[in-house]
Amino acid sequence: MTNLKDMSMLPENQWVDVCNLDDITPNTGAGALIAGQSVALFRVGNEKRIYALSNKDPFSQANVMARGIIGDLQGERVIASPIYKQHFSLATGRCLEDKDQKLLVFPTKIENGRVWVGAVPQKTYITNNGISQEKLKLVLIGNGLAGMRCLEDLLDMAPDRYEVTVIGEEPWGNYNRIMLSPVLSGEKTIEDIMLHPHAWYSDKGIKFIADDPAIKIDRTRKTVHTEKGETVDYDRLIIATGSKPFIPPVQGVDLKGVISFRDIYDVNTMIKYCETKKNAVVIGGGLLGLEAAYGLKQRGMNVTVLHLMDRIMERQLDGRASRMLRHSIEEKGIKIITEANTEALIGKNGHVSQIRLKDGTLLDADLVVFAVGIRPNITLAQSAGLRCNRGILVNDTMQTFDPSIYAVGECIEHRNQTFGLVEPLWGQAFICATHLAEHGSLTFKSPTVPTQLKVSGVDVFSAGNFEPKEDYEDIIL
């Protein structure tokens, strides 16, 4: 261990010039007295950075941490106490064996080969022994499944780490969007699919800004601005803005009675139409379109599904399985037209009344539901200057180009892939929460996700490659 000069007479809130970077031997510690505090400095290998933590071992109360052994444990870089061998994270100071113990962490920087240490410890979360002073501010933009799952995981891992604000575009709490189809069909109610009612947020001490979408992220000032004029500060930010339904540029899409199938508003609109109207056309024969068609049929509508490709669910099923599913659906009274290219929606008095296909076919339509896919909602991230392609670009720990901003869910793009099914979103949420809780450096790997769909008792399962190739063997059970 190297003992460096005494800085105890310098004022607080000031960067302290401690030593040359090369004065600290790689993979060992050095001690310094800064503003009356004994601080241990560590350098890992030949990295151009320094970790600074309080030198006092909280278990022995001895100033010995600078003599500890640097290593890796549970995915974290740690320093082991030379007395009782407890391990402390170099990044966060937390004790891996006892969550109620931690070392204070001091800010550091390297300038012109010199090591500078801040005299005041970094902000951190409050632990039971009262070592820490202040929570960090976490803002979650988006009140959907991925963002709220991340928040749940984070509260499990580090319940006192952050002061949390959730900003939601819709007036409701978090609900299970996957279960909108049973609500449409009448099998469930909105209350049945509510995961986090308003009371849940207040019970957890979370500020919930509902029915007020975020419209601006000021990365310089670290603030989020909402449509109704709220301004919220953040230390860490999660963007979980989800996706937007894709509406193709077809004549007449702005007519009344033309909607998507995405949220409670859409479901309520469809239910209202079912009470007074007769003919519904669903454009799109994928997962969502077939679920919408079934729900509308259960409500008494005459339903036709239009699909551009030569078979339904062509991205999940081979030809034989698709034909089997189509037969089962048509037995329920739902008409399916494949290779149907919509040319225009025809209106009467501002309301949709017919659909014209490119082959000249006319279909009566009191209600048209578009279910032809989704697009990541990246508008807010783009306006904030974050790097985006199809989605918000994130690394393996769900961080964006700005390290204080994370993103999860259908709005992201990870390793050239975007996501529309739930299972990968749960993985993203857990990885993001782990990183925010500072519980190691796990990384996200996209899984192979099976497709499961149930339409009126028809169970469909698909996973992996379903189109055979020359060197494949088909096994039919």
d(CA 451, CA 420): 11
Residue 8 has pLDDT above 50, yes or no: no
Q: What is the pTM of this model?
A: 0.72
Domain 258-372+453-462 in the same topology as domain 136-244+375-444: yes
- Angle ∠(31,158,86) on CA atoms, nearest 5: 40
Residue 180 has pLDDT above 70, yes or no: yes
pLDDT digits (tens, 9 = 90+) for 282-318: 999 998 999 999 999 999 999 999 999 999 988 888 8
Those residues with Cβ within 8 angstroms of residue 324's Cβ, 6 or more apart along the chain or in another chain: none
Q: Among 131-140, 254-263, 365-374, 466-475, which is the least confidently predicted range? A: 466-475
Q: What is the pLDDT at residue 7?
A: 42
Domain ranges of the chain: 2-118, 136-244+375-444, 258-372+453-462
Residue 76 has pLDDT above 80, yes or no: no
Contact by Cβ (8 Å): 219, 233: no
Q: What is the pLDDT at residue 132?
A: 45
Determine the 3-state secondary structure of 209 from DSSP: strand
CATH architecture of residue range(s) 136-244+375-444: 3-Layer(bba) Sandwich (3.50)
Under the banding of pLDDT at 50, 70 and 90, the label for residue 459 is confident
Residues in the chain: 477
d(CA 429, CA 155): 12
| Fold exhibited by the domain 258-372+453-462 | FAD/NAD(P)-binding domain (3.50.50)
Cβ-based neighbour number of residue 241 at 10 Å:
26
Task: Pull the structure tokens for residue 141.
Answer: 């933009």
Those residues with Cβ within 8 angstroms of residue 12's Cβ, 6 or more apart along the chain or in another chain: 35, 119, 120
d(CA 168, CA 211): 6
Stated as kind and residue range, the H or E segment containing 20 is strand 15-20
Helix 264-276 vs helix 287-298: crossing angle, to nearest 10:
40
For residues 156-161, average pLDDT: 85
| Fold exhibited by the domain 2-118 | Rieske Iron-sulfur Protein (2.102.10)
Residue ranges in 216-339 assigned as alpha helix (H): 264-276, 287-298, 319-331
Under the banding of pLDDT at 50, 70 and 90, the label for residue 394 is very high
pLDDT digits (tens, 9 = 90+) for 28-59: 899 999 888 999 999 988 878 888 999 999 99
With CA atoms as reference, report the closest residue to 269 among 368, 152, 139: 368
